[in-house]
Structures are given as structure tokens and as C-alpha cells.
Amino acid sequence: MSSSQPRKLLLKVVILGDSGVGKTSLMNQYVNKRFNAQYKATIGADFLTKEVMVDDRLVTMQIWDTAGQERFQSLGVAFYRGADCCVLVYDVNNSKSFETLDSWRDEFLIQAGPKDPDNFPFVVLGNKIDIEEGKRAVSSNRATSWCQGKNNIPYFETSAKEAINVEQAFQTIAKSALLMEKDLELFSDFPDPIRLDAHDRKQDLGNCAC
């Protein structure tokens, strides 16, 4: 057993979905255990961090909440890069917000450019289940079928307002992100050839009489 402490992992999670589906509320409920009934559109992107235990390992989750409005989507590129898990959120009472999940997922894969897009971890949250049943527009079966057809994406029905399934969903998100990071760690012991080349070039320039 090595006595050295393992380095603390930072897991980057990006939350995507249409405007008004509850992305900010879900993040605030999970991190701060708070719900604000006043809707305020996210401008650009914002993030919160939370330390969590995942499989006996302390990790820091950095959760990025991005604006759902199309005019802000161009800001996404920098925020998508380096993500370890992507959370797709829709409102179970709004079928359009469910139908756009495909384009949010495709957009993320294009912008983030993960090494293995087929196996990149996504989690889908159907939010606002606290609203009366008669207003529901997307059935559990429809959402589950969509997730199964996309490499069995984990699916949770949540309420940021009532704190239903929020903790459980983010536990799965953290585990998915940690698995992604562990895969990347396998290669972290190898030296970076680009950095070495750059260093060698600097030495050559130092000896140059030009």
C-alpha cells in the first residue's frame, strides 16, 4: 500500500438543454439544497463546485450550467472542452424540450470532440415531475426508449423544486465522470512528447548564434 495520497480529481460536468427546463435549479438544488421559484435566464455560462465521495474517493465536481438560448450557444465551445460527463435536461411537460435532446447531444459531441464519442458518458434528466400529472407531455416509456437507443444512457425523472431524485441523479453523473477520468489517467504516466520537443527546441535556440 502506498502512503502517498492520490491526487484530488476535478470532474467537469456540463448541463445542457432548452431554456427554462430547470438546469440552474437542478444544479442549485444539488449543490446548495436550495430552490428559487423566480425564473432568471442564465447568461452565457456559470459553474458551481461540490466535493463528493465516489467509490471511496474524494472528488470535486465542477458543474457547468450553460444558457439554453440559441444566441448563446456559440459560447459553448470553450465550456464543452474537457468535460467528463454531459447532462441532458428536458421538461417532462414540454415535448419540444425533449425533441431537441438529439441536437443538444450532437452539438456537444461536435464541440467537445471526445476521443471516443460512442462511449462518452451522458445522463438524461426529465425534470419538473412535481407538476400535475395531467400536464405531462413526455411519457417515461418514450424517454426510456430514446435513452436505450443511445447506448443505454442512464435516465432519471427529477424535480428540482421538491428535490426528487436530484441527489441520486448526480451520484450517477459523478460515477460516470469518474470512470471517464480513470480512462484518461491510464495515459497520464507517459511523458508528453510535444512538451519535450518544445523544450529541446528552446535549448537549440539558446545555442544559436543568429
Domain with residue 188: its CATH number is 3.40.50.300
Q: List, in order, residues 6 or more apart from 45 with CB less than 8 Å away.
A: 64, 65, 66, 67, 75, 76, 79
Query: In this structure, is residue 31 part of a structural domain?
Result: yes
Give the pLDDT score at 81.
85
Q: Which three cell numbers stand for residue 153?
A: 444512457
CB-based contact 164:129 (threshold 8 Å)? yes
Rounded Cα distance, 86 and 127, in Å: 16
pLDDT, mean of residues 20-44: 81
pLDDT over 90 at 26, yes or no: yes
Number of domains in the chain: 1
User: Which domain, by its residues, includes 92?
Assistant: 9-206
For the residues of 180-201, what is the DSSP string, one character each? HHHHHHTTTTS--HHHHHHHHH
CB 127 within 8 A of CB 158: yes
Strand partners, 13: 63, 85
Residue 175 within a domain:
yes
Report yes or no on 2 lying in a domain: no
Is 3 among the domain residues? no
Is residue 65 within 8 Å of 15, Cβ to Cβ? Answer: yes
pLDDT at 102 exceeding the cut of 90: yes
Question: What is the per-residue pLDDT across 51-101, written as a single tens digit (0 to 9) for each?
Answer: 998 888 899 999 998 765 554 455 556 778 889 999 999 999 999 999 999
Of 107, 134, 83, 84, the C-alpha closest to 18 is: 107
pTM of this structure: 0.80
**4 falls within a domain:** no
Segments in 33-94 forming alpha helices (H): 76-80
